[in-house]
Amino acid sequence: MGMVWAMNGKVIPAMKKDNIGKPLLSLKKGKTHILRWRNDTSFAHPIHLHGHAVHLISTDGEKLAEPLIMDTLLINSNQYVDVASSPTIPVIGRCIVTFSNMPQPA
């Protein structure tokens, strides 16, 4: 059985060399975006937005007293986090959300 990843309730399709598909997410420079990242797997999972730090603002609905500025977040099994992102650099092409646990061949 393979692993699948989803964003906004949509399964992320496999990318092909000549067609990487449509963007799943668009963030505008200078605007603050609130994103919810949820881990519905049975293992902890690191995630980050290439080229951008995010402000961790809540974990499982519990607001932090002070947001934490982070590059990579480790989201525990069955946990969700809310982050704020305010891109300050232009994104040329595509900005990648990376799910950093990759299955390794035996």
Structural domain count of the chain: 1
CATH number where 51 lies: 2.60.40.420
- pLDDT given for residue 58 in this prediction: 98
Whether 66 maps to a domain, the answer reads: yes
Handedness of CA 69, 73, 78, 83 (dihedral sign): positive
Beta bridge partners of 8: none
Whether 24 maps to a domain, the answer reads: no
Which of these, 17, 26, 21, lies nearest to 91 by C-alpha position?
Answer: 26
**Domain region containing 48:** 29-99
Residue with tokens 């997410």: 25
Whether 87 maps to a domain, the answer reads: yes
Whether 11 maps to a domain, the answer reads: no
- pLDDT given for residue 7 in this prediction: 66
* pTM for the structure as a whole: 0.73
Model confidence pLDDT, tens digit, residues 3-29: 666 666 677 666 677 776 776 677 777
